Amino acid sequence: MTLRICHILPVLLLCATHAAASLPRDPAEQARIFAACMGRYAAAMEHAWLLGDADGATPEARRELFEMMLDAILPDARDAGFEGIDVWRYRSGAKQAQSRLLQLSSFDPDRGRARRAQTLARRQIAMCESLILG
């Protein structure tokens, strides 16, 4: 993905204005959060596709936004000890966890367990949403 200043600047401004209080200052920790959010949105995107949900475009756009944010912070995160393999580890771990929650919420015959999984899946996404929507 080729990044231009016209793409990165709005992302950085968004981070500075909406999420400054809730986003850690450590670039490695920011990279962890961005990678995890990318994974959660990737799972939501795939789940929407699986269920034939027309709202699959929203998770895809959010995943792309977190990818741009991660790309913007990654050089500083690497200087702070965050390696390329860490991106994969946090992204895939969060994606697997979110996928499991979404599967349980949609298909578990135990309605109590399905509701708890749905609540937790929504909380995970809400944390990511709070970083970009304030």
The residue among 32 and 21 whose pLDDT is bigger is 32
Rounded CA separation 63/108 (Å):
26
What is the value of pTM for the model shown? 0.81
> What angle do the packed helices 27-51 and 111-133 form, to 10 degrees?
130
Rounded CA separation 89/111 (Å):
31
Rounded CA separation 132/65 (Å):
9
Report if residue 46 sits inside a domain.
yes
The residue among 17 and 81 whose pLDDT is bigger is 81
- Range(s) of the domain holding residue 55: 26-133
Report if residue 15 sits inside a domain.
no
Report if residue 18 sits inside a domain.
no
Rounded CA separation 39/21 (Å):
23
Report if residue 8 sits inside a domain.
no
Report if residue 19 sits inside a domain.
no
Domain count, the chain: 1
Half-sphere exposure at residue 9, Cβ-oriented, CA atoms within 13 angstroms? 3
Q: What is the pLDDT of residues 30-72, one digit of tens each?
A: 999 999 999 999 999 999 999 887 666 789 999 999 999 999 9
Rounded CA separation 51/28 (Å):
35
39, 98 contact by CB (below 8 A): yes
Flag the least confident range among 6-10, 36-40, 53-57, 106-110.
Answer: 6-10
Rounded CA separation 69/102 (Å):
25
Report if residue 82 sits inside a domain.
yes
Is pLDDT above 60 for 98?
A: yes
The token pair that represents 63 in the structure block: 């995943």
Report if residue 6 sits inside a domain.
no
The per-residue pLDDT of the chain, averaged, comes to 86
**Residue 87, pLDDT score:** 93
Report if residue 9 sits inside a domain.
no
